[in-house]
Chains A and B, each alone.
Chain A
Amino acid sequence: MKILVTVKRAVDYTVRVRPLTDGSGVDIANAKMSMNPFDEIALEQAVQFKEAGLADEIVAVSIGDSGSQDVLRSALAFGADRALLIQTDSVLEPVAVSRILAKIATDEAPHLVLMGKQAIDDDASQTPQMLAARMGWAQGTFACGLSMGEGEVSVIREVDGGTQTLALTLPAVVSVDLRLNEPRYLKLPDIMKAKRKPLEVQTVEELGVDVSTKTRITHFAEPPEREPGVRVQSVSELIDRLVNEAKVL
């Protein structure tokens, strides 16, 4: 079985991102960048399937600028067999990303595509579902449990109020949630070994996919700041202030 895993280079989760003062963008020129945390979970799952003998090839794909080679090297260190960068300097809408991924999924013909349920930069949570729709495949979103069956994958999904279990016909797209697994720490020998694994780079233009959309962000603003708070000394003072000052009790 062949697994395709998508990885996105995003601002590290510890960075508090602010808009540029003129509202034309976000101030991330010098921010620490990392693999989107949800994508690490997707990769970990793929590697676990391979270690269990359920998968024989893992292909990692990223779409982004040349810096995305870093996250693909990490993906190779995790245990992906080869990597593919579709290079672009533009920030793409999920629908455009899904067009690219559909082309790759058609060429690579994986049995399973594992993806993070959202990227922590645009917080869109769209691309896996869009890819599944384009391919005419089943989708299992927000997965917290996965098991392979004969020609199908069983997915436990986090839904409002609890969990739901679905059996998806393969090929399928699964988007993973936080509680699926805990990604491993990369070891130095694996990082060294990853340097020798194949990483292919293609531009969006070479791929021949139209990435234009009729949607654009026109302004980036800071949300309203909270007024400075008050330190209360006791429970009775807290209750008194909630009743008489904040008037919420």
Chain B
Amino acid sequence: MAVLVVADHSDGILSDGTARTITAALELDATVDVLVAGEQAQAVAEQAAALSGVTRVRCCDDAAYAHRLAEPMAALILSLMNEYAVVMAPGSAQGRDVLPRVAAVLDVAQLSEITRVIDSSTFERPIYAGNVLATVVSEEAIKVITVRITAFEPTAAAGSSAPIEAVAAAEAPDLARFVEESVVRSDRPELGSAKVVISGGRGVGSAEGFKLLEKIADELNAAIGASRAAVDAGYVPNDYQVGQSGKAVAPDLYIAVGISGAIQHWAGMKDSKVVVAINVDEECPMVQTADYALVADLFDVLPELEEGLAQLKAH
């Protein structure tokens, strides 16, 4: 069986989610090819070729894929699908945008955000905000799958390099035009793959309040997340949102500050190994369910925590 993994990348860097998707693909006992599409995609193709388990990289270096819009991307993937039994992509904004378009043209059901490969046709995926795990059997001729990247480890670097083959751009009607993007580059670890995440909620109160979280993130090399309430209130940008409709995270340590812990937020962070809640409300679900709960005013304890962590680092 052959699997095509559609790579995610930005600024010439292959995403960590792609390496995790390759791990999921390898669990199908398959040969795994990686499709890298983009403008000046060669550097990304080389990064993909260096990953363990990759048989070959198909590289489509063409301006048509500069922004990887769904319409041309789906056409490109479809032009290769007579060679593959499975197409997989990370459950990122790109994967979620593009793959259903591929599935619809193939007229097959897609499996979204699988968390486990049970066998070559049986998978597990969360439904109802992660409160239920569904075992799904797919007997579709071609399987179209997005992967919950936090559920799989990234495949390691290989000692050698897989061959890189050029593929031709596919014909696609001109339906959507890229206008602009506003993307914030951060020096912090990616939210989806960080070992430590500190998230703030409505209780943080302001964009200014998030500075207290940033200082702790600096000490812990953590990514910063947020609840929907904090994003809606404009304290932080939208892509900080952790939850059912935002990002899923599964760090070793998740620190929830001023987050009450609605079902929708838990959906995005319940697979964290250790959860710490800092909240004044001892009745809120986050405090009730966290591994460690500190019932206190966050504005009192965050500076103290920052200091304690700095001392810990100094020792």
Contact = CB atoms under 8 A, between A and B. Distances in A.
Interface of A: 11, 13-14, 16-19, 26, 38, 93-96, 98-99, 117-118, 120-134, 136-142, 144, 154, 157-169, 172, 177-179, 213-223, 226-227, 229-236, 238-239, 241-243, 246, 248-249
Contact of A238 (B128, B183, B238, B276): B276
A238 B295 CA distance: 11
A127 B99 CA distance: 11
Interface in B273-297: 273-276, 288-295
B261 to A, nearest CB: 12
Contacts of B99: 129
B308 A239 contact: yes
Given A140-B176, A248-B252, A129 B104 contact: yes
B101 interface: yes
Interface residues of B, number: 89
Most buried by B among A121, A133, A169: A133
Nearest to A92: B109
Interface of B: 10, 67, 69-71, 74, 92-94, 96-105, 107-113, 122, 126-141, 173-185, 196, 220, 228, 231-232, 237-239, 244-245, 252-253, 263-264, 270, 273-276, 288-295, 301, 304-305, 308-309, 312
A123 B276 contact: no
Contacts of A124: 110, 112
Chain A interface helix/strand/loop/mixed: mixed
Nearest to B92: A160
B74 A118 contact: no
A160 B100 contact: no
A218 B135 contact: yes
A223 B270 contact: yes
25 contacts: A94-B110, A95-B109, A118-B245, A120-B128, A123-B127, A124-B110, A125-B112, A127-B100, A129-B100, A129-B101, A130-B104, A133-B104, A136-B173, A138-B176, A139-B101, A162-B182, A165-B181, A166-B176, A217-B136, A220-B132, A227-B291, A229-B275, A242-B292, A246-B291, A249-B220
